């Protein structure tokens, strides 16, 4: 079984090499649990117009998204991060877009993980 994300495929290979059957599941589950919480923190910082914390949370979330290969989410986070340094006006619609995208990406990754776990012979 191959994930859409090259990064997740690399985690499968790493888990296999390490003989760690839970590595992929743990990483994905942490992302699915933490990404929405991190997005909410980002949204709260946006409501406070706290540019420093917006940059912090956008950068943190960008890293989390990169770990699971959610490249489109990384791009949104990068745009938010850069915007916080330049102009706060563009951030609220970007955060709203990110919240929607995080939700659907978590569902997609979770579905891929279920398919992966159901495939015989996998780590």
Q: Domain-by-domain residue ranges, the chain?
A: 6-109
Fold of 6-109: 1.20.120
pTM, to two decimals: 0.74
pLDDT, one tens digit per residue, over 17-64 is 888 878 888 998 999 999 999 999 999 999 999 999 999 999 999 999
pLDDT greater than 70 at residue 123: no
Listed residue (28, 20, 96) closest to 65, CA to CA: 28
pLDDT, one tens digit per residue, over 64-103 is 999 888 889 999 999 999 999 887 788 889 899 999 999 9
- Torsion sign over Cα 82, 105, 6, 42: positive
- pLDDT bin (cut points 50, 70, 90) of residue 12 is confident
| Cα end-to-end distance, the chain, whole Å | 11
Q: Which residue has the higher pLDDT, 39 or 109?
A: 39
pLDDT greater than 60 at residue 1: no
Q: What are phi and psi of 98, to 5 degrees?
A: -65, -45
Q: How far apart are CA 12 and CA 68, in angstroms?
A: 11
Half-sphere exposure in the Cβ direction for 40 (13 Å, CA):
6
Q: What are phi and psi of 84, to 5 degrees?
A: -65, -30
Q: How far apart are CA 36 and CA 24, in angstroms?
A: 19
pLDDT greater than 50 at residue 9: yes
Cα separations in angstroms, 78 against 17, 55, 62, 63: 32, 9, 7, 10
């Amino acid at each position: 079984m191959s994930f859409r994300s090259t990064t997740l495929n690399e985690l499968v290979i790493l888990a296999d090499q390490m003989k760690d059957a839970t590595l992929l599941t743990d990483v994905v589950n942490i992302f699915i649990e933490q990404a929405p919480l991190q997005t909410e923190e980002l949204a709260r910082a946006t409501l406070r117009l706290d540019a420093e914390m917006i940059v912090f949370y956008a950068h943190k979330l960008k890293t989390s998204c990169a770990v699971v290969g959610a490249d489109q989410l990384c791009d949104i986070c990068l745009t938010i991060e850069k915007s916080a340094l330049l102009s706060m006006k563009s951030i609220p619609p970007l955060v709203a877009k990110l919240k929607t995208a995080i939700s659907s990406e978590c569902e997609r990754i979770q579905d891929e993980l279920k398919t992966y776990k159901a495939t015989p012979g996998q780590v």
